[in-house]
Amino acid sequence: MNQLSLSDLPRGAHIHFIGIGGISMSGLAQVMLGRGFRVTGSDRMKTHITDKLEKLGATVFEGHSADNVKGADIVVYTAAVHGDNPEIQQCVKDHIRLVDRAECLGAVMLEYTHAIGVAGTHGKTTTTSMLAHALLGCGLDPTISLGGELDLIGGNIRTGGSDLFVTEACEYTNSFLKFFPTIALITNIEEDHLDFFKDIDDIINSFRKFAMLTKDKGYVVALGSDENIQKALNGTKLNVRTYGIGSGFDYCAENITYQAGFPSFDIIKEGCVLCSVALNVPGEHNILNAAATIAVCDLLNADIESASRGVESFRGTHRRFERKGELNGGVVIDDYAHHPTEIEATLSAAERFEYNKLWCVFQPHTYSRTRTLWDGFTCAFSSVDELILADIYAAREMPDGVTTSEKLAEAIAAEGVKVRYISAFEQIEDILRSEVSAGDIVLTMGAGDVVKIGENIVEKSGAK
């Protein structure tokens, strides 16, 4: 079947979203509402996200039922929705067109002259958010689709009035190959999602295909020091612009200094200072995110001084080094990191701050990721003074009977790290309340529900 085209749908057409409460699906639903379509959707339960959609005019059903899709012209679903879903079954019976989330997002991208897809194993949400700050700082009025919530835009979606669209582009299940970017930003390429990809070469090939989507119509902006990106782009003859720390790239972050844990630096282009930036988020990875953001803005002929001030206004997204409050005089921070490289980057950022003891509560995410990246996890926590491992967050998977947090704790302990495996969140919270002291940093980390621990100990300590 041909690629979905929004221009082929009559105004007021009925679009239904299965799983409308998810971050990406709710964003698409909001875009469709803004374009005059009738939007309905369903999910297991209603949340603040679905409440917002209902206020904007969507109809949201709690629970899945065949009746929910009756009369729909298009039904959008995600990879988490399977063939036994009653709404999917009804669509098949009634010959209602089914479109996956990626194809729907690709259809949105086709409506814009400039479409930026932010891809990479790590950093997609943060870089897209930083880019949102920069573009809005330039007054370019973009439409923005995020995989997280950003205070600047009041959530995960912003509908702009210009011909500029910015979205995250996820490689999982090759979703981003259904996109139509004019600028493909690639932050890094590493092993991940090995429940779908065969190996790192398979992942590199997928990113190569994503980059090729810009052929004859745009640019690839890429981390120049990443060897896997180099492999992906080798021989493509695309319009590539590189960025990195130090010299040798098209956009170079140099003259880096730190003040109270936050970096300041210059972006150098062709030997001249393009702009100077003083970040309000920590970490070397955010220096790279800022360099990528400035590179994209430069390719869009944006006012770079305004873009750099926009970057400086960025103070993070929810669940990305997010300060939750205090406990016993220590600071509680939550972060989404769930890959060894992300963990090391977050811990490195924390080390730039003054503290007495660095605590980390980590919840591994999925059995397949924990199993395939086992060696990386065992070595990722060397800078932590006290590590607590919670049970693995299963997400879409079933236990494999072999991979457990208890065994991972043993492997990490063998590397010389002080680590405890604690199954119950309540017990973890009790330990933190009794043992955390003034001047400590407590990091809750993971892509599951580990955030609840930090929220609970802050709330019950009376500190906000």
125 classed as catalytic: yes
Q: Which of 125, 126, 167, 370 is catalytic?
A: 125
Going through 2-70 in order, the beta strands assigned E by DSSP cover: 14-18, 38-43, 59-62
| Whether the Cβ atoms of residue 81 and residue 19 lie closer than 8 Å to each other | yes
Q: Is 63 exposed, middle or buried (0-12, 13-18, 19+ CB in 10 A)?
A: exposed
Going by C-beta distance under 8 Å and a sequence separation of 6 or more, which residues neighbour residue 216?
none
Going by C-beta distance under 8 Å and a sequence separation of 6 or more, which residues neighbour residue 175?
79, 100, 101, 102, 169
Q: Assign domain 112-312 one CATH number from 1.10.287.70, 3.40.1190.10, 3.40.190.80, 2.60.40.1170.
A: 3.40.1190.10
How confident is the model at residue 74, as a pLDDT? 96
168 classed as catalytic: yes
- The reply to whether CATH 3.90.190.20 applies to domain 322-461 is yes
How confident is the model at residue 459, as a pLDDT? 59
Mean pLDDT by 10 residues, the chain (464 residues): 84 95 89 93 92 95 96 92 94 95 92 96 93 95 88 87 94 93 97 91 98 96 98 97 97 94 95 96 93 98 97 84 91 92 90 92 95 94 96 90 95 96 96 96 94 86 44
Q: Which of 87, 149, 168, 171 is catalytic?
A: 168
Strand order in the sheet with 155-158: 155-158, 143-150, 164-168, 114-119, 183-186, 219-223, 240-245, 251-259, 262-269, 272-278
pTM of this structure: 0.80
Q: Which of 40, 50, 87, 124 is catalytic?
A: 124
CATH topology of domain 10-100: Rossmann fold (3.40.50)
Domain chopping of the chain, boundaries: 10-100, 112-312, 322-461
